[in-house]
Amino acid sequence: MFGLNPLQFIFRLLIGADQPRAVAGGLAIGFFIGLTPGWPLHILLACLLLLILNVNISAAMIAMGLAVSLSWLFDPVINAIGSLFLQDIQALHSFWTWAYNNPVLAWTRFNNTMVMGALISGGISAILIATVGASLLIKYQTSWVAKLKNFKVFKWLQRSILARAYAWLAGGA
């Protein structure tokens, strides 16, 4: 029932069932992975982190899908960012040359403008999502979840046959 995970995730997010930091962490890593084309070394490491760290994988999947869509939309910008860092900033050239000749770093394909652009923009976005997202989720859970649970619509939804069918299909939320 993998396809139902996003729905389950949204529902659990609404009712505050998951750890805010785990959700934010999943979103951050997923967004980072989704933004980068191909499978360079740092993305494989990010995937390992996703599996090893106790972050929300459903959140990561949703963020990954979102990032892939956004990267198609913004790839000229991402490419320009990569080109800026790799070519236009002269001060970084000696560092890039060193990295280029490093056998391990070469596997990251950092010298590709798209990969570098995605690394920069995805990295910044991931940090923002992990920090700001976590604090927003905590705020939401402390001040909004209790109020939301008292809404009649929400109560009706919880009791509805649809919710019970979903809980049964998903193996119990």
Partner 1 sequence: MIIRKSAAALIGVSLVTGGALFLVLKNSLIESQLEGLLTKQFNAKSEISGLSLNPIDLQGQISKIEIADQDRPIQNLIQSSKAEADIAGWPIFRGNLVIDTLSIKDLEIGAPRTTSGALTTRVAAKKTANNTGQVTPASEAPTTDIAAEAQTDETNGKQTEDDEINWKSLADNMPKLDLSQASKQLNIPDLTKGLELQSLKQIQQTKQENKQKIDELKTQLDNDDLKKRIAETKQQLATLKTRNITDIKSAEKALKEIESIKKNVAAINRDYKKINNDANQLIRASTLQKSQLSENIRQDINTAKQLANIRNIDTRDIAIILFGPATMQKMQQIMQYADMIKQYIPESEPEDPNERRMGRDILFPVTRGFEPRLLVRNMAFNGRHGSKIFSGSLQNFSSNPLRYQKPVVLSLDSRVNEASWHLGSTLTSVGNNLNNNIQVIGKNIKNQTIKLSKRKDPSNPNRAILTNSDIVADLTVGKNILSGKIKLSADTLDLTFAQKATKKFDREIQNALGKSFRNVVINATLSGSFTKPGLTLNTNIDQRISKRLKAVIGDKIAQANKKLENHVTNSIAKELNIANKDIAAYSKPVKAILSGNAKDSRQLNQLRTQTENDLKAKLSNLKKAHARELKKKAENKLKKSLKGLKL
Measured from the CB of residue 65, what is the shortest distance to partner 1 in angstroms? 15
Q: Which residue has the tokens 């800026």?
A: 84
CA-nearest of 1, 7, 15 to 150 is: 15
- Does 123 help bind partner 1 (rule: CB under 8 A)? no
- Which of 8, 108, 112, 141 touches partner 1 by CB under 8 A? 112
Question: CB–CB of 173/12 below 8 Å?
Answer: yes
Question: CB–CB of 100/111 below 8 Å?
Answer: yes
Listed ranges 105-113, 123-131, 133-141, 164-172: which one lies at the site for partner 1 (CB under 8 A): 105-113
Q: Which helix (DSSP H) or strand (DSSP E) does residue 8 occupy?
A: helix 5-15
Q: Give how many residues touch partner 1 by CB under 8 A.
A: 32
- Does 111 help bind partner 1 (rule: CB under 8 A)? yes
- Does 133 help bind partner 1 (rule: CB under 8 A)? no
Three-class secondary structure of residue 69 per DSSP: helix
CA-nearest of 6, 61, 72 to 31 is: 61
Per-residue binding string, partner 1, 48-87, x by CB under 8 A, is x--xxxx----------------xx--x---x--xx--xx
- Which of 100, 144, 156, 168 touches partner 1 by CB under 8 A? 100
Nearer to partner 1, 127 or 157 (CB): 127
CA-nearest of 34, 29, 44 to 109 is: 44
Binding site for partner 1 (CB under 8 A): 37, 48, 51-54, 71-72, 75, 79, 82-83, 86-87, 93, 96-98, 100-103, 106-107, 109, 111-117
